[in-house]
A and B are shown apart, each in its own frame.
Chain A
């Protein structure tokens, strides 16, 4: 069995920075990550992509190479293509790699599982040709693929980033359909002082808007009643601005209204989560070092609450320091001295966040979808189905499974869990915290019998007589 002082699940910014810091403190580190190259989603395939198309993807992306370089350390083992499917006793991790399952053990585990796109159920969002904006960006980063005749729909700075990258790639989007309103911006002004401390972000946002205007990209702001048209694939997106109906013919629709913590691994080991009103999602409960209710398990990065890539890198280092202290390798004094600049950096990164959260709220129409909108993509359960389940007495998401299977398909609730919680919460007039979330059980990802069988060959089996 593989073993290390620290197992890190995920090699995005939090995982990579934690690995380097822990390795420098002389801990042995095992990184398990699903992708064939380090970087996570934000720096997906950054080493290869920077060389091939770094000009299109921009400096912020290329900067991710600092983190991947940090993985070149004798104390770090990085297993690529390792799909984690179970965590046991806060110390053991089961994963599959190259068609065989394995166990690894450690003193401490750091979950650096990052974010998922916030589910954006609008009519027609299951049609081929509808993807997340993040998916379009991943195609551009990893594969150098751009979507022609695309419309970006939703809210948030990522839409502007993807749009500018598409412009630079010579494949500009047809339009941006944005759901935030002027009222949102006015409300956000309350947080402008904090945002000014995070001014580089504001400046980047403004620069992107200027670049889009120069490229002649149309922005429809304050859109409501968004739907995707098409029979076999997406052919148009429709929406209203005020009372005016709009229709844009297109081949691809790219949805985005923020990202949310990917909590599957944390939930599978019963770490408590609480509802974050400001970010409209659940986040795991952790202390300022990232320590969870399971004493040996830490969480860092967007998986602990959305703060962005640079904040994730700081949080990863902070958790690594505390883990090294926990294991009596770094003294309390050294830990406290080392953590100071990291906390300062983290706070600076967080400064602009309240402004961004209020200026670009989730699209209300996707938080309260119309009855005929599919919310569980896997089992094709609609918002109306879930409301009927509430009418029949369903209080929590786990009961809805028995009533109609939402969350029981292969994605295991990743793209419907928050919708089910929020729809039930509204229908029952019970707050999200009390409504709760799906119980997540292993295996976290599907695994074949063959992969488990291959595990037995590797283990010495003691037979009791």
Chain B
């Protein structure tokens, strides 16, 4: 996980709420795009691929590439298609099952 984020808010949003990503307690701007808010908070990667375990983060920001997948309440979702709400408990997707590609 990077400590210093290369993503900067140029027009900072006001009201921040607490959100958890893995072990990190974060304060993210309410109602803003979740993937963007996580990037500014220095979260990277968002997940590891089920095939090789390679790190991934947001790529398209428009709901098409599925590289920003995170797990919320047991359901895998695209972070770029969600808005920040209070108390979100986010983890990396736990799909570390058998490697389909090699079977």
Contacts and interface: CB of A to CB of B under 8 A. Distances in A.
B33 A143 contact: yes
Q: How large is the interface on A (under 10, 10 to 19, 20 to 34, 35 or more residues)?
A: 35 or more
Contacts of A144: 9-13
A378 B10 contact: no
Interface stretch (A69-77, A133-141, A299-307, A355-363): A133-141
A132 B59 contact: yes
Nearest to B54: A126
A191 B33 CA distance: 41
A233 B100 contact: no
Interface in A146-181: 146-150, 169-171
Contacts of B55: 127-128, 232-233
Interface string B62-84: 11111101000001100001010
Given A142-B33, A142-B36, A145-B36, A131 B10 contact: no
Nearest to A139: B36
B60 to A, nearest CB: 5
Contacts of A169: 10
A378 B100 CA distance: 12
Interface string A411-438: 1001100000000000000000000000
Q: How large is the interface on B (under 10, 10 to 19, 20 to 34, 35 or more residues)?
A: 35 or more
B64 A415 contact: yes
A129 B42 CA distance: 11
Interface of A is mostly: loop
| From A262, A378, A381, residue with most partner B Cβ within 10 Å | A378
Contact of A145 (B10, B54, B57, B81): B10
Nearest to B44: A128
Interface in B24-50: 32-33, 36-37, 39-40, 44-46, 49
| From A36, A150, A170, residue with most partner B Cβ within 10 Å | A36
Nearest to B63: A34
Given A138-B62, A415-B65, A143 B9 contact: yes
Contacts of A378: 49, 66
Contacts of A41: 62
| From A127, A134, A144, residue with most partner B Cβ within 10 Å | A144
Nearest to A142: B33
Contacts of A129: 6, 44, 57
Given A128-B57, A143-B9, A409-B66, A233 B45 contact: yes
Contacts of A377: 59, 65, 67
B61 interface: yes
Interface in A1-59: 34, 36, 41, 52-53, 56
Contacts, number: 128
A146 B65 contact: no
Interface in A258-316: 262
B3 interface: no
A126 B56 contact: yes
Contact of A251 (B6, B49, B100): B6
B40 A145 contact: yes
Contacts of B45: 128, 232-233
A143 B36 contact: yes
A130 B46 CA distance: 13
B64 A405 contact: no
B3 to A, nearest CB: 12
6 contacts: A41-B62, A129-B44, A131-B61, A134-B61, A415-B60, A445-B63
Interface of B: 2, 6-13, 32-33, 36-37, 39-40, 44-46, 49, 51-52, 54-67, 69, 75-76, 81, 83, 100-101
Q: Which 7 A-B pairs have the closest CB atoms?
A: A251-B6, A128-B57, A143-B36, A135-B61, A144-B11, A410-B66, A138-B61
Interface of A: 34, 36, 41, 52-53, 56, 116-117, 126-132, 134-135, 138-140, 142-150, 169-171, 232-233, 251-252, 262, 377-381, 404-405, 409-411, 414-415, 445-446, 448
Given A380-B101, A415-B64, 15 more contacts: A41-B62, A128-B57, A129-B57, A131-B58, A131-B61, A132-B61, A135-B58, A139-B36, A142-B36, A144-B9, A148-B6, A262-B64, A379-B100, A380-B51, A380-B54
